[in-house]
A and B are shown apart, each in its own frame.
Chain A
Amino acid sequence: GAGVSQSPSNKVTEKGKDVELRCDPISGHTALYWYRQSLGQGLEFLIYFQGNSAPDKSGLPSDRFSAERTGGSVSTLTIQRTQQEDSAVYLCASTTYLRDEQYFGPGTRLTVT
């Protein structure tokens, strides 16, 4: 079946602009995660959704970052007033059980110029 998809695959934006990153999880997966991977770094947890709820937003780096999930499916990560330090690959993953293996999308590479 179809895996996790993310769009766009690449995004170049100017500093100060807003961007939206989209994630389509595997159908039926109730949990969805967002991570940030900076060059040469591991995965930084941003936020997770159980259904449409986000019980823990503590990983979001600043109030410029927000995320939502609608219909228990598609999720959007929004970064307002982008800064150069926001440049990274943003990965989305979904799973059926919170503790279990996660299925990752290919990521969105964000470059802020």
Chain B
Amino acid sequence: AQSVTQLGSHVSVSEGALVLLRCNYSSSVPPYLFWYVQYPNQGLQLLLKYTSAATLVKGINGFEAEFKKSETSFHLTKPSAHMSDAAEYFCAVSETGGFKTIFGAGTRLFVKA
């Protein structure tokens, strides 16, 4: 069965610092992997997705994520945090032949001035 674990419910960084949000997944078949962002009082918006092409995926707003099969990880990074990055981030996984996308519990990112 597929599952997603996001390490750290809250992450705080200073403006300009590296952002690293961790995601580990469990899947019995090659997965599709996603990162979504949710700003206050809004729905989720896709940041980036991995669908078995390049292992390093670039998304919007300067974010990127690397699929590491050996570590079953899909961590999200951004070299330099901006105040506008403050939001909740969700990692998600879906499987071949499945209909369901499983979402992690989310990580709230705080950016300090």
Q: What 1/0 mask marks residues of chain A from 74 to 113 whose CB sits below 8 Å from any chain B CB?
A: 0000000000000000010100001111111111000000
- Asked if A42 and B45 sit within 8 Å, CB to CB, the answer is no
Q: Interface SS of chain A: helix, strand, loop or mixed? A: strand
- Asked if B99 and A98 sit within 8 Å, CB to CB, the answer is yes
Tell me the complex Cα distance, A87–B81, Å: 33
Known: A42-B106, A55-B99, A99-B94. A91 touches B32 (CB 8 A): no
Query: Smallest CB–CB gap between A18 and chain B, Å?
Result: 24
Number of A residues near B (Cβ < 8 Å) is: 24
- Asked if B95 and A43 sit within 8 Å, CB to CB, the answer is no
Contact of A106 among B34, B42, B102, B104 (CB under 8 A): B42
Q: What 1/0 mask marks residues of chain A from 21 to 48 whose CB sits below 8 Å from any chain B CB?
A: 0000000000101010000011101001
Query: Smallest CB–CB gap between A72 and chain B, Å?
Result: 16
Query: Smallest CB–CB gap between B109 and chain A, Å?
Result: 15
B44 within 8 A of A: yes
Contact of B98 among A41, A42, A99, A107 (CB under 8 A): A99
Instruction: Report how many A-B pairs have Cβ atoms within 8 Å.
Output: 58
Known: A42-B90, A43-B90. A101 touches B46 (CB 8 A): yes
**Residues of chain B in range 56-113 having any CB-CB distance to chain A below 8 Å:** 90, 94-96, 98-106
- Asked if A100 and B43 sit within 8 Å, CB to CB, the answer is no
- Asked if B106 and A99 sit within 8 Å, CB to CB, the answer is no
Query: Smallest CB–CB gap between B50 and chain A, Å?
Result: 11
B41 within 8 A of A: yes
Query: Smallest CB–CB gap between B87 and chain A, Å?
Result: 14
Q: B6: nearest residue on chain A (CB-CB)?
A: A42
A-B contact pairs, 15 of them (CB 8 A): A41-B106, A42-B105, A45-B102, A50-B99, A56-B99, A91-B43, A98-B99, A99-B96, A99-B98, A100-B51, A100-B94, A101-B49, A102-B44, A103-B46, A104-B45
